[in-house]
Structure 1
Amino acid sequence: MKYFAALLLSAVLFVACGDESSSSAPDPIGEISSSSNEELGSSSSVAEKNSSSSVSGKNSSSSVVESSSSDSVKTCTPDQEGLEQWYFFTKETYVCQNGVWVLQSSSEEFFSGTPCEKDEEGYTVFISQEQVKYICQNEIWIPMSSSSVVQQSSSSKYYDMSRQFNAKLSYGEFTDPRDNHVYKTIRLYDDVTDTLTFFAENLNFGKMISGGDQQGDSTKYCYDDDPWYCENGWGGLYTWATAMAFQAACDSSQTGSEKCLNTTDESRNTLVPNNSEYVVHQGICPDGWHIMNQGEWVAAINGHGAMSGSQYLSSEVWNGIMENPRGFSLLPVGLYDSVNRRFSGIMELGYYWIPREYYDEPALLGTMVHFIHNHMNMSAGSEKSDALSIRCVKDY
């Protein structure tokens, strides 16, 4: 699978949050409720996000201890004077004093008692380092019962799907007439149309074939070549050409070329004409539905406010996220990596094709929406021969 520098950088930034040395002061970090800084609607945007495990404003009665290492001293701005920053992974608190971040002595400090915002009231977050799930109540994160945490069964490689959907919300249903598969649907309000109706599940159409075999009409891969994943909410995985319902040659040739005669129908792009981010393309979706385009992914995230867009859309089955507040129930099924010929990334990464070729190498790369645990990238490139997930939207 091909990744680009910007995407790699964002992933490195995400991982680095857990690798800080306890002897060096962190850079000033934002509150958990204001950590999302996703660039939406731009084809070249990369979602940048601070770690959601870092919280400012943690009170501490510990005495101030000056760091003895000059390498560890980091400056702060005058408007941060007196501000405290608690770094979860090292259990340390820093305070801005006289233009530098100063380490305060601290013992075992935990997530419990750190502040949350009013618009996060009732939301939950799982802190994997503590193996504790917290809920925001009265603007404070407090621990919940450990029995409420969704975890993988220790006796099975499969997942508990009982919380795939948000039980507090009302879902519709759609039966695909091609195979009588029933999908839950969810209506999300946005600023572009009155309502958009989405599949609340990944598309699961077609006959399972082994990963790496040539896909054709009505075929799919199931993660690990195991039908359980397709049958239990994770859905099928499709190459770009199969997802677009194009000839197989389009996985290695640009659309409209001699080898790939297929193209998307720009005439159906009624919301924003002549804008490839809003192409309405049916692809492998059933009649009356189309593959989510970039503009519709933006609409799905609309209203996420301070929360990560990834957390805002994800199913609670995805351990360590919010409680599926919008009912979209996104699952990180990973992908089939055609370069390394293997399945990878389940419960870590979610990849969804959108109906566009990637501008850098359109003959070989398709455009996808990419989700990490608490981070997302609205537009990135992947090998067209990789197999990713699909979400469908009702035509309007």
Structure 2
Amino acid sequence: MAFFFVACSDDESDFATRPSGGESSSSAKSSSSSEYERVQCNVKTDENCIKDDRDGQTYKTVKIGDQVWMAENLNFKTDSSFCYKNTAEYCEKYGRLYRWAAAVGKSESECGYGYTCSLPSGNIQGVCPNGWHLPSKAEWETLFNAVGGQSTAGKVLKSTSGWNSGGNGMDAFGFSALPAGIRNSIGGFSSEGGSADFWSSTEGDSYYAYGMYLYYLNDIAYLDYYDKDVGFSVRCIQD
């Protein structure tokens, strides 16, 4: 996945040479990679379940610290959003992959690659349902602190199945991060089983925005900025 990452921080990891989670390890894929199946929750019987009134889909939720998160990836169809490998079954399993402009609820000509978006301060609803918003960089950092720190957040946030080469997590807080992979800027897909990549609402500049990244080979939760025109998963947080 090095083709779209740019080293923009002095973190010890080198984002310019980040290894590909899905492609390099496909032959060593975990036997549990197909075990996860998304099940619709019931808003009438489960208080930790919400319904998106736009399309009727439901999502499990979880409270971690003082935050309430969706415990599943968003699957609301909009412009500049995609199913992995352009196949509907992946959307059912992992939710959709969104370019950053779509994630913040704007067009490519407003906030896409090469355009400075200059979003207002405060919560950015973006593609999320009413009452929910796209997490900011600071809100991702708050999550890391709540689960014991960024250096081990990956282990406790990753799902217990689906990750390559024994990279499954503990899912200790019910966040259930799935290795949905990414869509690159030219329309290719990679890293299913190897990485979970999520947008934030925080813009870097006209070309980059912040995202959170989990990798199958370690326990770290990375937070850096990435090309706006790649497709990442979206997790919404309650207002």
TM-score range for the pair, normalised by the shorter chain length = 0.7 to 0.9
Residue pairs, 1:195-210, within 5 angstroms = 195-206=66-77
Distance change in 2, residues 1:162/1:343 (3 Å): closer
Distance change in 2, residues 1:325/1:171 (3 Å): farther
Residue pairs, 1:206-225, within 5 angstroms = 206=77, 216=79, 220-225=81-86
State whether residues 301 and 313 of structure 1, in contact with CA within 8 Å, keep that contact through their aligned partners in structure 2. no
State whether residues 4 and 380 of structure 1, in contact with CA within 8 Å, keep that contact through their aligned partners in structure 2. no
In the alignment of these two chains, the number of paired residues is 216
State whether residues 369 and 376 of structure 1, in contact with CA within 8 Å, keep that contact through their aligned partners in structure 2. no
CA displacement, residues 92-121 of structure 1 (integer Å, 9 cap, x when unaligned): xxxxxxxxxxxxxxxxxxxxxxxxxxxxxx
Taking CA–CA contacts closer than 8 Å with sequence separation of 6 or more, which of the two structures ends up with the larger relative contact order?
2
RMSD: 3.0
Amino acid at match of 1:295: A
1:150 to partner: Cα distance: 5.8
Residues of 1 paired with 2:38 and 2:87: CA distance? Answer: 21
TM-score (norm 2): 0.79
1:313 to partner: Cα distance: 0.5
State whether residues 238 and 389 of structure 1, in contact with CA within 8 Å, keep that contact through their aligned partners in structure 2. yes
Residue pairs, 1:33-48, within 5 angstroms = none
Given candidates 200, 223, 244, the residue that maps to 2:104 is 244
Amino acid at match of 2:36: M
Report what 1:161 is aligned to.
Answer: 36
State whether residues 137 and 210 of structure 2, in contact with CA within 8 Å, keep that contact through their aligned partners in structure 1. no
1:295 to partner: Cα distance: 2.0
Q: Secondary structure at the match of 1:325?
A: coil
Given candidates 175, 179, 183, the residue that maps to 1:332 is 179
CA displacement, residues 137-170 of structure 1 (integer Å, 9 cap, x when unaligned): xxxxxxxxxxxx9623xxxxxx111599xxxxx9
Question: Once superposed, which parts of structure 1, at least 4 consecutive aligned residues long, lie more than 6 Å away?
Answer: 10-15
Larger radius of gyration: 1
Does 1:179 find its partner at 2:55?
Answer: yes
Q: Secondary structure at the match of 2:201?
A: strand
Q: Secondary structure at the match of 1:302?
A: helix
CA displacement, residues 337-392 of structure 1 (integer Å, 9 cap, x when unaligned): 014x300111111111111222xxx1122221121122445432222111111110
Amino acid at match of 2:5: Y
Report what 2:6 is aligned to.
Answer: 4
Distance change in 2, residues 1:253/1:288 (3 Å): same
TM-score (norm 1): 0.49
Structure 1: where are the runs of 5+ without partners? 16-128, 132-148, 153-158, 165-169, 190-194, 208-215, 257-262, 270-279
Amino acid at match of 2:199: W
CA displacement, residues 305-362 of structure 1 (integer Å, 9 cap, x when unaligned): 48721111011123333321110000121111014x300111111111111222xxx1
Does 1:385 find its partner at 2:226?
Answer: no
Distance change in 2, residues 1:345/1:287 (3 Å): same
Residues of 2 paired with 1:180 and 1:301: CA distance? Answer: 31
Q: Secondary structure at the match of 2:160?
A: coil
Distance change in 2, residues 1:230/1:328 (3 Å): same
Given candidates 344, 354, 357, the residue that maps to 2:203 is 357
Amino acid at match of 2:137: Q
Identical counterparts, % of pairs = 27
Report what 2:131 is aligned to.
Answer: 288
Q: Secondary structure at the match of 1:356?
A: strand
CA displacement, residues 22-57 of structure 1 (integer Å, 9 cap, x when unaligned): xxxxxxxxxxxxxxxxxxxxxxxxxxxxxxxxxxxx
Amino acid at match of 1:201: E
Structure 2: where are the runs of 5+ without partners? 21-27, 40-45
Residues of 1 paired with 2:138 and 2:59: CA distance? Answer: 22
